[in-house]
A and B are shown apart, each in its own frame.
Chain A
Amino acid sequence: MSAKPSWTYREVPREYVRALNATKLERVFAKPFLASLDGHRDGVNCLAKHPKNLATVLSGACNGEVRIWNLTQRNCIRTIQAHEGFVQGICTRFCGNSFFTVGDDKTVKQWKMDGPGYGEEEEPLHTILGKTVYTGIDHHWKEAVFATCGQQVDIWDEQRTNPICSMTWGFDSISSVKFNPVETFLLGSCASDRNIVLYDMRQATPLKKVILDMRTNTICWNPMEVFIFTAANEDYNLYTFDMCALDTPVMVHMDHVSAVLDVDYSPTGKEFVSASFDKSIRIFPVDKSQSREVYHTKRMQHVICVKWTSNSKYIMCGSDEMNIRLWKANASEKLGVLTSREKAAKDYNQKLKEKFQHYLHIKHIARHRHLPKSIYSQIQEQCIMKEACQRKEVNRIKHSKPGSVPIVSEKKKHIVAVVK
């Protein structure tokens, strides 16, 4: 007789079937949409997380309105008419007691997080009148310093009405500025003359810049890897850069079929979410060029801003049609507290799915996603276009003198220059 007891037989097929079932269940339970927060009376232009409270979210709209939301109750706690015109940027202070907004009315305003007491008027703590329109704001992660951008990048001390220093490189308007969460004195900004500029707060001049093919809308730093950031570009792609080697992006993420408007990292640093003009949001693993997930609904219009919550479980996105939507980061994840057995089963299933992910049947089921027709057809179209380009390139190489046409990799293709 064999040395193996009978129950150990056929472990591979049994596990395979388990994996198949797990995969199917995952797809069956993949219902990522949680809630839609409505109340804004214009498109949502910016979002901010509360640094200390998971349930609180701030949003600024195109009519100058700022709302603070409670995610557990899924309602609006507070509404402020902060600006005239757009609320261009919003950010919270690291302590969580106050937040800053910038608007089209050339002002920077600091607000208290808590509402005014009984009988008090809704008023900002401070208001700074600037000379030009500010298009973005970000707060330092540890110190009482914040940075705004517009025609130049200004770094402000909270106590002063004039910037500590203002840095420019070129003359175009700068659309967004972001502090590095780890090396906190580093800043990144992107301007409409297609470049991404890096600054060191301690210096008076910018560090370096990289010029891409098209304009970058936003950047976001990886919270777990110091020098890595991802740029959301107008050419439908996202570029992950290592700031030490800007000439080649670490990864080019391409799946969107329209301009990418916003990007935010998961706090675990493994994935990021991007919002696009093509009315969908996608989740990309940092080390993959293709997205692992795409979220869309019928009513969601152009997504302008997106945030990944600080516990890495949820994603929020604000879109043109005045709603903020709440999604699960992991589409089929069960909400609520899990018993230990549930947890073990979940982990086991996850592992099985990983183990058998290369099997055709499983792969096909796991990869299937429904897409609206518009996006689908656009994907097809772009596929054709891309193929044509590639074919042309190949032909060009084939029919010219060997070596005269350089072979440029997809990564390097979009980088125009790096300036220091």
Chain B
Amino acid sequence: MTANRLAESLLALSQQEELVDLPKDYLLSGSEDEGDNDGEREHQKLLEAISSLDGKNRRKLAERSEASLKVSEFNVSSEGSGEKLVLADLLEPVKTSSSLATVKKQLNRVKSKKTVELPLNKEEIERARTPLEQEIFNLLHKNKQPVADPLLTPVEKASLQAMSLEEAKMRRAELQRARALQSYYEAKARREKKIKSKKYHKVVKKGKAKKALKEFEQLRKVNPAAALEELEKIEKARMMERMSLKHQNSGKWAKSKAIMAKYDLEARQAMQEQLAKNKELTQKLQVASESEEEEGGTEEKVEELLVPDVVNEVQMNADGPNPWMLRSCTSDTKEAATQEDPEQLPEPEAHEVSESGGEDRPVAEEEILLREFEERRSLRKRSELSQDAEPAGSQETKDSSSQEVLSELRVLSQKLKENDQSRKQKASSEGTIPQVQREEPATEEEEPLLLQRPERVQTLEELEELGKEECFQNKELPRPVLEGQQSERTPNNRPDAPKEKKKKEQMIDLQNLLTTQSPSVKSLAVPTIEELEDEEERNQRQMIKEAFAGDDVIRDFLKEKREAVEASKPKDVDLTLPGWGEWGGVGLKPSAKKRRRFLIKAPEGPPRKDKNLPNVIINEKRNIHTAAHQVRVLPYPFTHHWQFERTIQTPIGSTWNTQRAFQKLTTPKVVTKPGHIINPIKAEDVGYRSSSRSDLSVIQRNPKRITTRHKKQLKKSSVD
């Protein structure tokens, strides 16, 4: 080891010497007979160096490197410093002697002779002659770029100095640990991947989901910012799903299942599951209004300008996977970031790498791990820094950061509230609008009078089928209102109610997020705001309580639901005959054994649809077969449903009317006399000469489409 190092240093030295000027060699060779101790040693080294010199490592450029602890006592290294070995220093011990006069002269001559040295002297560089050069120098100076020695900028130097040895060690240890962890993880994953049991995987998946949920809950309690980030990730996943159209029943697996589903219950369930998943993932979250977002954005910016704190960092990381976003985001804060923590800089690249190389997961995971470590370190450092430097300021910054978290949370909660409200509004409007719509006459759209098809329908049976077909086609459509449909008025059995509820369930339980008291964030300055929020909430709750002081709506509802469930359960049939085979009479009951024997247990019905929906009652009694025999929209001439109902309710048959009324009611609008030619209308027909009416073979009742002139004339004639 030591020998090696020695050789290296020597080599460096020799190179330097070579670089400075060649005549020195010559000079040394000239002074070799001098018995100087020092000189001898140097000479030895030189010889060694020369002997070790071969063609390969002729000349090494000075490299940037860490500050080394070991400084050779023999080494007169000039690297990095920019100084040169001065020839005169070496020459000092040499006494002036006549024998060396010529040599000295020679040397002097050499000295006086100006040779262009490389790299150029500082003065030479500094002397910028042309304006272009000047400009370039100016620029370089401004940016603190090294002019003479193009190795390290001051910033880089600073960063180099910042990393102490211990830290480097720590970092290395961390890296090692991370790598080890990763390898363990990989091995485990490989092992698990080999397991073929589907059930096992299912269980694992379920467990994972559960765990994730739990963790999220925990996170929400402990660290709202991280929870937010998580939420965003979920949102991103949803977006990806929406874009990628996975779980759409279009894959190979799904198709095969679709075929199987007809016969196999399991396959059907799997398919449904997948559909549900799709629905869940593609659920669109409503975006908060633009103004709000903008506000949030400005706030964020201001805060970023103030101090790039933890929250911001988290945010950036959350935005990470999108390199474009990241670039624009970081470009603003680059300055600050470079000054604050140099570790932050390489991050974007890492992100990009992880983005682009999606296949090699382990690498990405490692990256993530490393990043986490780095984050932690930077955090630690900053906290130290801030504590050291300015306690008041740090307080403030923390305050602001926590405030931001809170504001974020608030925005989120507002969004959620809005969602909720809008959904409720929708529900309520759905409750009211259909009735309004029903009352609107369908004037614009004229339905075709014929339903033309390429199939023939000739017999009664076929006609019956036709009607049925129609009714099944219309099954999905909302039910029309007619005579007795009180049930429809109640909002509970609206068919779209369960869907809404489902939606609600699938989202992260927003209500809970709102109502459960978020655990106080462990930071110093937060509590006051927290309390404020709590108070607000409490106030609201109080208000609601006061408003509904008299009636316990929830309990009533629950009771109602319980009753509904009870009513819908299939009843057992008790066929015991009291007194059959035993004594009967007042006060005697058939024996338990007999009762047990003759009690026919009703089979368990299908599970209720509202089983998992605590605040919904779904009425499953609705008879879809009646829908075909009802009117869907109010027909044209009627303006209100009661008009229509009234016309329907007045019977026209002779069963309910007198003969005369029946005749009157059933007379057709246009009556033609059979076997008579109907002549075109004449002026006389409409009242000029009432005498000639006898030969009119068409009698018109309710002349609807006759022009007004004709109508008037008709009136006249009737008056006559």
A-B contact count (CB 8 A): 183
Q: Is there contact, CB below 8 Å, between B706 and A369? A: no
A24, A226, A312, A368, most chain B CB atoms within 10 A: A368
The interface residues of chain A lying within 8 Å CB-to-CB of B315 are none
The interface residues of chain B lying within 8 Å CB-to-CB of A292 are 449-450
Min distance, Cβ B83 to any Cβ of chain A, angstroms: 74
Q: Is there contact, CB below 8 Å, between B471 and A361? A: yes
B463, B628, B676, B698, most chain A CB atoms within 10 A: B463
The interface residues of chain A lying within 8 Å CB-to-CB of B432 are none
Q: Is there contact, CB below 8 Å, between A367 and B450? A: yes
Q: Tell me the nearest residue of chain B to A348, going by C-beta.
A: B666
Interface residues in B541-598 by Cβ distance below 8 A to A read none
Q: Is there contact, CB below 8 Å, between B474 and A360? A: yes
Q: Which of A166-174, A201-209, A372-380 contacts B (4 or more CB under 8 A)?
A: A372-380
Q: Is there contact, CB below 8 Å, between A347 and B672? A: no
Q: Does B621 belong to the interface (CB within 8 Å)?
A: no
The interface residues of chain A lying within 8 Å CB-to-CB of B647 are 355
- With beta carbons under 8 angstroms apart, the residue of B451, B459, B632, B670 that contacts A270 is B670
Q: Tell me the nearest residue of chain B to A52, going by C-beta.
A: B677
- With beta carbons under 8 angstroms apart, the residue of B454, B652, B675, B710 that contacts A54 is B675
Q: Does A89 belong to the interface (CB within 8 Å)?
A: no
Q: Does B519 belong to the interface (CB within 8 Å)?
A: no
Min distance, Cβ A12 to any Cβ of chain B, angstroms: 6
Q: Is there contact, CB below 8 Å, between A224 and B632? A: no
Q: Does B455 belong to the interface (CB within 8 Å)?
A: yes
Q: Is there contact, CB below 8 Å, between A360 and B628? A: yes
Q: Which of B52-60, B233-241, B679-687 contacts A (4 or more CB under 8 A)?
A: B679-687
Q: Which of A75-83, A108-116, A132-140, A282-290 contacts B (4 or more CB under 8 A)?
A: A282-290
| A355 with B652, Cβ < 8 A, contacts A369-B450, A369-B451 known | yes
Q: Does A397 belong to the interface (CB within 8 Å)?
A: no
Per-position binary interface string of chain A over residues 261-296, scored 1 when its CB falls under 8 Å from any chain B CB and 0 otherwise: 000000111100000000000000111111111100
The interface residues of chain B lying within 8 Å CB-to-CB of A269 are 681
Q: Is there contact, CB below 8 Å, between B680 and A141? A: yes
B483, B651, B704, most chain A CB atoms within 10 A: B651
Q: Is there contact, CB below 8 Å, between A288 and B449? A: yes
Q: Is there contact, CB below 8 Å, between A267 and B452? A: no
Q: Does A350 belong to the interface (CB within 8 Å)?
A: yes
Q: Does A311 belong to the interface (CB within 8 Å)?
A: yes
Q: Does A394 belong to the interface (CB within 8 Å)?
A: no
Q: Which A-B residue pairs are the 9 nearest by beta carbons?
A: A267-B678, A223-B680, A181-B680, A364-B470, A367-B451, A11-B651, A310-B677, A347-B666, A361-B467
Q: Is there contact, CB below 8 Å, between B450 and A28? A: no
Q: Does B84 belong to the interface (CB within 8 Å)?
A: no
Listed by A's residue number, 26 A-B pairs whose Cβ atoms lie within 8 Å are A15-B651, A182-B683, A223-B679, A224-B680, A225-B705, A267-B677, A268-B672, A270-B705, A285-B449, A292-B449, A347-B667, A348-B652, A348-B653, A350-B668, A351-B666, A352-B652, A358-B635, A359-B629, A361-B467, A364-B466, A365-B463, A368-B450, A368-B451, A370-B454, A370-B457, A371-B454
The interface residues of chain B lying within 8 Å CB-to-CB of A288 are 446, 449
Q: Tell me the nearest residue of chain B to A8, going by C-beta.
A: B656
Q: Is there contact, CB below 8 Å, between B698 and A268? A: yes
Alpha-carbon distance between A181 and B458 when the two chains are bound, in angstroms: 40
- With beta carbons under 8 angstroms apart, the residue of A18, A365, A370 that contacts B455 is A370
The interface residues of chain B lying within 8 Å CB-to-CB of A375 are 452
Q: Tell me the nearest residue of chain A to B649, going by C-beta.
A: A12
Min distance, Cβ A140 to any Cβ of chain B, angstroms: 13
Min distance, Cβ B481 to any Cβ of chain A, angstroms: 13
The interface residues of chain A lying within 8 Å CB-to-CB of B464 are 24
| A369 with B452, Cβ < 8 A, contacts A28-B463, A182-B682, A267-B678 known | yes
Instruction: Name 9 extra pairs, CB < 8 A, besides A223-B680, A293-B450.
Output: A8-B655, A15-B653, A54-B675, A225-B707, A344-B663, A348-B662, A360-B471, A368-B451, A370-B453
Min distance, Cβ B709 to any Cβ of chain A, angstroms: 9
Q: Is there contact, CB below 8 Å, between B680 and A368? A: no
The interface residues of chain A lying within 8 Å CB-to-CB of B655 are 7-8, 11, 14
Q: Is there contact, CB below 8 Å, between A268 and B648? A: no
Min distance, Cβ B660 to any Cβ of chain A, angstroms: 12
Q: Is there contact, CB below 8 Å, between B456 and A182? A: no
Alpha-carbon distance between A146 and B406 when the two chains are bound, in angstroms: 94
Min distance, Cβ B475 to any Cβ of chain A, angstroms: 11
Q: Is there contact, CB below 8 Å, between A291 and B449? A: yes
Per-position binary interface string of chain A over residues 194-237, scored 1 when its CB falls under 8 Å from any chain B CB and 0 otherwise: 00000000000000000000000000000111110000000000
Alpha-carbon distance between A141 and B647 when the two chains are bound, in angstroms: 44
The interface residues of chain A lying within 8 Å CB-to-CB of B466 are 364-365, 368
The interface residues of chain A lying within 8 Å CB-to-CB of B666 are 344, 347-348, 350-351
The interface residues of chain B lying within 8 Å CB-to-CB of A351 are 652, 665-666, 668
| A311 with B635, Cβ < 8 A, contacts A289-B446, A293-B450 known | no
Q: Does A325 belong to the interface (CB within 8 Å)?
A: no
Alpha-carbon distance between A54 and B451 when the two chains are bound, in angstroms: 33
| A225 with B677, Cβ < 8 A, contacts A348-B652, A361-B470, A361-B629 known | no
The interface residues of chain B lying within 8 Å CB-to-CB of A352 are 652-653
The interface residues of chain B lying within 8 Å CB-to-CB of A33 are none
Alpha-carbon distance between A305 and B84 when the two chains are bound, in angstroms: 117
The interface residues of chain B lying within 8 Å CB-to-CB of A364 are 451, 466-467, 469-470
Alpha-carbon distance between A310 and B679 when the two chains are bound, in angstroms: 7
Per-position binary interface string of chain B over residues 692-710, scored 1 when its CB falls under 8 Å from any chain A CB and 0 otherwise: 0000001000001111001
Q: Does A185 belong to the interface (CB within 8 Å)?
A: no
| A360 with B631, Cβ < 8 A, contacts A15-B653, A376-B452 known | yes
- With beta carbons under 8 angstroms apart, the residue of A12, A28, A268 that contacts B483 is A12
Q: Is there contact, CB below 8 Å, between B629 and A290? A: no
Q: Does B35 belong to the interface (CB within 8 Å)?
A: no
Q: Is there contact, CB below 8 Å, between A311 and B680? A: no
- With beta carbons under 8 angstroms apart, the residue of A20, A28, A359 that contacts B631 is A359
Q: Does B460 belong to the interface (CB within 8 Å)?
A: yes
Q: Tell me the nearest residue of chain B to A51, going by C-beta.
A: B677
Q: Tell me the nearest residue of chain A to B635, going by C-beta.
A: A358
The interface residues of chain A lying within 8 Å CB-to-CB of B463 are 24, 27-28, 365, 368
The interface residues of chain B lying within 8 Å CB-to-CB of A337 are 674
The interface residues of chain A lying within 8 Å CB-to-CB of B648 are 12, 355-356
Q: Tell me the nearest residue of chain A to B667, going by C-beta.
A: A347
Q: Does A16 belong to the interface (CB within 8 Å)?
A: yes
B449, B655, B656, B668, most chain A CB atoms within 10 A: B449
Alpha-carbon distance between A387 and B455 when the two chains are bound, in angstroms: 25
A289, A344, A361, most chain B CB atoms within 10 A: A361
The interface residues of chain B lying within 8 Å CB-to-CB of A12 are 483, 648-649, 651
Q: Tell me the nearest residue of chain A to B654, going by C-beta.
A: A348
A181, A255, A370, most chain B CB atoms within 10 A: A370
Per-position binary interface string of chain A over residues 1-33, scored 1 when its CB falls under 8 Å from any chain B CB and 0 otherwise: 000000110011011101010001001100000
Alpha-carbon distance between A20 and B468 when the two chains are bound, in angstroms: 13
Q: Tell me the nearest residue of chain A to B480, going by C-beta.
A: A360
| A54 with B452, Cβ < 8 A, contacts A28-B458, A351-B665, A352-B652 known | no
Alpha-carbon distance between A371 and B457 when the two chains are bound, in angstroms: 11
Q: Is there contact, CB below 8 Å, between A16 and B451? A: no
Q: Tell me the nearest residue of chain A to B663, going by C-beta.
A: A344
The interface residues of chain A lying within 8 Å CB-to-CB of B705 are 225, 270, 286-287
The interface residues of chain B lying within 8 Å CB-to-CB of A7 are 655
Q: Is there contact, CB below 8 Å, between B629 and A360? A: yes
Min distance, Cβ A268 to any Cβ of chain B, angstroms: 5
Q: Does B630 belong to the interface (CB within 8 Å)?
A: yes
Q: Tell me the nearest residue of chain B to A180, going by C-beta.
A: B680
The interface residues of chain A lying within 8 Å CB-to-CB of B675 are 54, 311
Q: Does B448 belong to the interface (CB within 8 Å)?
A: yes
The interface residues of chain A lying within 8 Å CB-to-CB of B632 are 360
- With beta carbons under 8 angstroms apart, the residue of A27, A226, A347, A370 that contacts B707 is A226
Interface residues in B471-503 by Cβ distance below 8 A to A read 471, 474, 483
The interface residues of chain A lying within 8 Å CB-to-CB of B683 are 182
Q: Tell me the nearest residue of chain B to A285, going by C-beta.
A: B449
Q: Is there contact, CB below 8 Å, between A365 and B679? A: no
